[in-house]
Structures are given as C-alpha cells and as structure tokens.
Amino acid sequence: MYGKDILRLSRRKVLACTGAALAAGPLSVALHVPKSWAQAKTLRIAAGEADGATGTMDPAQSTADPDAARINLVFERLTVLDDAFAAAPQLAKSWESNATGDEWTFKLQEGVKFHDGEAFTAKHVVHTYKRLLDPKTASPGASSMAAIDPDAIAALDDHTVRFKLKTATVEFPALIANRFTYILREGQPESELRTAGIGTGPFKVKQFVPGEDVSTFVKNENYWRPGLPKVDAVELRAIPEESARIAAIESGQIDLVWDLGRAGVAGLQKNPDIKVVTTRSPFVLTLSCWADTPPFDDVRVRQAMKYVVDREQMLQLVLRGYGNIGDDNPVAPWIEYALQAETRARDIEKAKALLAEAGHPDGIDIELFTSETTPGFIEMATLYQAMASEAGIRVTLNKAPANDYWSAVWLKQPFVCSSWSGRGADDALAAPYLSTSDWNETHWKRPEFDAFINEARASTDVAKRTELYQNAQRLLREDGGAIISIFPDALSATRANISGWKLHPQQSTKDFSEVEIG
C-alpha cells in the first residue's frame, strides 16, 4: 500500500505466522508433506513488513503485503495482470463482453481441483464474488467492485460464468485482477478462512497463526499446472530490519528477499553468492494528508507542500537512483492512459507565497508519521522534513512501530507515509482517491473526479477514455492531498542457487510456483 498495497493499498505487508496451526478450527484438507520436513526442499523467504495480529488468509479481508504473499501461494484468480498491466488468464481461460461492456462471460479452466479434491467449477466463482460484495463480509475491496450486480452473477454451466454490471466497464477483466478476488471453495466454514484457506493454488497451508513471524506451506501435489510447483515447501518470515534481512540472505539463512531496500543493493551486487533482481515498477511512495483537516484543507497549503520537493534529490537520496520521478500523480508516465506533463519544479518562494495567501505567513507546524514498515519511508520522511523547512513548513517526525503501522497509523492519522503497489491507471486512481473508496487515504472527495473515472470506465472509445483518465489525473495532481515524488523500482535478491524467480512490477503479485532450488 508506503502504504499498502507496498504493501496498501495497499494501500499497498509481509508475513506472519508460525506456530500451532489453525486456531480458528480444524482444517478439512489432508495435508501431505512429500518428504520429512527436514529433507524437503523448502524455499525460505523474508520481507521487511509485518502485519501483526491482523494477518489473514481470507482474500476478502486482505490489506497488507504479507496477506498478498500467503494468499498468492494458496489461491488463484480468474485473471492476473501481465507485466504491462493488461489482463491475462489464470482460472479463466477466455472472456468476452457484449457491445456495451456491461455484460461479461468467462470460460473457466477445466480439470482444476481445490486442495481437498473438490473440482473447481463456476459455482465457486459465483460464491466468491457474492461473498465479496455482501455488506456482511465488510470487505475493503467491495467498493472497487461496485459495478458488479451481485444478484446477476450466474453459472451458465460448470465452466461458464456471466457477470452483469450496473455500469459498463470496458476494463473489467483487469479490474477483477486484484487482491480480493481469489476464488474460494464454496462450503468452507467461515471460521476457517482466516487461517486455513482451501484454494486451487500451488501450495497448501501447513501453519499460519496471525501475529507470529513465520508461516509455512507445503506443495500441492495435484496442482493443475504441469510440473509446478518446483519446491516442496515455502516458509515466509517477517524481518522488518533491513540490515537483518541482508545479513540473513548473505549468511544463507533465507533464500529470497522480495522487498530489498536500496541501501543494501550495492553490497549484495558484489557478493557472488547473491543475485539482485530489479524491474521498473509503477509502485507509489507517497506522503498523504487529509484534505478535509486543517491546515491541509486549504488547497494552497497542499500545493505549497508539493512545491518544496526536489524530486531528483528524492530519487537519488531515497532510492539511490533505482526508480523514476513522480509528479503527484499515481499513474506512472509509462502506463497506458498516463498524463504526460512537465514535472513540477521545486519553488521555495512560490511555496512561501502560497502559505502566506492561505493565512500562514510564518509557516505551519505539522506532524508526519513514518515507519520502517516499508523500505524508504524513513529516508523519504527525513528528506522531506529538511526540504520543507526552507519554506517554513516545520515537520515533526513520528516514527511508529513497523508491526502495526497499517492497522494503527495508516487511515488513522492526518499526514502519513504511504505506498501502493503498481497498478494500471484506473485502479491507481480509483482505489486511493474515489470518494466512495474505503481506502481514500487523503479524504479528498471531488464529484468531478469521480465522474471522470466512471465515464472513462464506460467509454468504448479509446481516445475519449484516455482524455477522461487524464482529466482525472490533472485534477488530482493540482488539487489532491498526495505528494508523489518517486516511483521505486522493484528490488529483490536471491541466493545464487535459486532460479525461476521473476519480480512482477505490481509487487503485490508474487508467483513462487516456478522458483527452484539448485
């Protein structure tokens, strides 16, 4: 999300768990460990974020990146996003819409089974989406799926599902490739979903206890994709301290770090036992303020806070150059529908003038919450404090604990470091900034912005759709409460004997099924 999604939304975080499995009830799946645990090829993964006692295996309640990692191991979706953020098949093998884009029919993969042996069919898709949209589920993902008419989701046969939408959505297959839409087995007790999910994915839950640092998963011997997965088990471990993660992979205690901090890259690149993996990503690092709360409720203050940023310096000092400059717009410039605009230049005198016009000739005092929960948060906050001081914006830093930052600070304090995993234009704009979004982290609500997004979703004309999305970006850039100065590259590292790991630019998408230990 630093916000979720990095791990978010989430917005945009890494693992949880060990211990005596299934506190919520007995698991109905017979778990098979192919070898003794000591002899099995176990892929040991570490990441720098922890989700504490709020961790879950329930996709409908997923809010942190550790959730996403666990859920990716166990469950699958109808569609996924490819490296260009276009929809690609997973449990759906094809789809088509009517001429107006408000009715979509998906053909499903055949021969797929859940971990307990039950066949995957259309009824499970219907169940998953109806549950996700049910107000009683209270899923934070429901608002982004509001176009779906839950009463009109229908299984036409065992391998065909039809969705009817309340409003036309031409990007619907990409819209449903999100962290909430993993397919559940109909009939699994609600009491089991948090700790013992039954999916169709490459691994099965062995141990997961919310709040513990390690969770373990074993190979699904009946996985539907031939030859996968390539390891017998996966162990996920939360190691919030960057130096500890680097020490762990250098010593061989872990095999893979998927959210590597920039400070440690140079040293690891010199180590012949380590492979550093990078990719360009539209992952968002942001400083987010509540646009309905003083002093941030004055657009002149919000603009002044943006003008103090030296974006090139942010890129070099926070990201060590591993990334791209942002322009207070969550849609990265290389993403489809992106607004191509001249980057906002630093202008201290303009910032001072805007503050004076807003009634603050002597500047303002504000508190910024940050944390080690996401690589770069502390550096970004510290550098912003220094930059802002030149315009009379006096920033006090509040370093919050990493283990519950997303549950105790994000969405609860008026000025925070946040992050969002890489997304296509619609999701990057809608998830954090639509008035109806449960994750509207800036409290910025503009009917005209909402109208731009909703009209773009319904337009079958590419040029018109592009114009509408760009209008939305322009409005957010000038008026919104998000200071987005950098897009970090995705960085990870593996031991030299690890192959098959590909870092997805979305970052919250993690496919470990093809990773192999040499």
Q: What is the pLDDT of residue 65?
A: 67
Counting runs of H as helices and runs of E as strands, what totals does the chain give? 14, 21
Distance CA 63, CA 6 (A): 10
pLDDT string in tens for the chain (518-residue length): 333 333 333 333 322 332 333 233 333 333 344 444 445 799 999 976 666 677 889 999 987 666 788 899 999 999 999 988 889 999 999 999 999 999 999 999 999 999 999 999 999 999 999 999 999 999 989 988 999 999 999 999 999 999 999 999 999 999 999 989 999 999 999 989 999 989 999 999 999 998 888 999 999 999 999 999 999 999 999 887 788 889 999 999 999 998 887 877 888 999 999 999 999 999 999 999 999 999 999 999 999 999 999 999 999 999 999 999 999 999 999 999 999 988 999 999 999 999 999 999 999 999 999 998 888 999 999 999 999 999 999 999 999 998 889 989 999 999 999 999 888 999 999 999 999 998 999 999 999 999 999 999 999 899 999 999 999 999 999 999 999 999 999 899 999 999 999 988 887 678 899 999 99
- Which residue, among 26, 53, 376, has the nearest Cα to 213 in the 3D structure? 53
Distance CA 52, CA 407 (A): 9
Select 284-488's CATH number: 2.40.10.10, 1.10.10.10, 3.40.640.10, 3.10.105.10.
3.10.105.10
Copy the structure tokens of residue 183.
């397919």
HSE-up (13 A, CA, CB side) for residue 344: 25
* φ and ψ of 173, to 5 deg: -60, -30
Copy the structure tokens of residue 226.
């031939």
Q: What is the pLDDT of residue 40?
A: 73
SS3 state of residue 352: helix
Instruction: Give the pTM.
Output: 0.79
Q: What is the pLDDT of residue 230?
A: 97
Distance CA 196, CA 206 (A): 8
Largest CA distance in the chain: 70
Q: ∠ CA(464), CA(465), CA(471), 5° rounding?
A: 90
* φ and ψ of 146, to 5 deg: -60, -20
Q: What is the pLDDT of residue 371?
A: 95
Distance CA 119, CA 100 (A): 33
Q: What is the pLDDT of residue 50?
A: 63
Q: What is the pLDDT of residue 51?
A: 62
Burial class (CB in 10 A: 0-12, 13-18, 19+), 478: middle
Query: What's the CATH superfamily of 79-175?
Result: Dipeptide-binding Protein; Domain 1 (3.90.76.10)
Distance CA 75, CA 371 (A): 30
Contacts of residue 274, defined as CB under 8 A and 6 or more positions apart, other chains included, come to 249, 250, 268, 493, 494, 495, 496
Query: What's the CATH superfamily of 12-73+187-280+490-518?
Result: Periplasmic binding protein-like II (3.40.190.10)
Tell me the chain's radius of gyration from C-alpha atoms: 22
What are the boundaries of each domain within the chain? 12-73+187-280+490-518, 79-175, 284-488
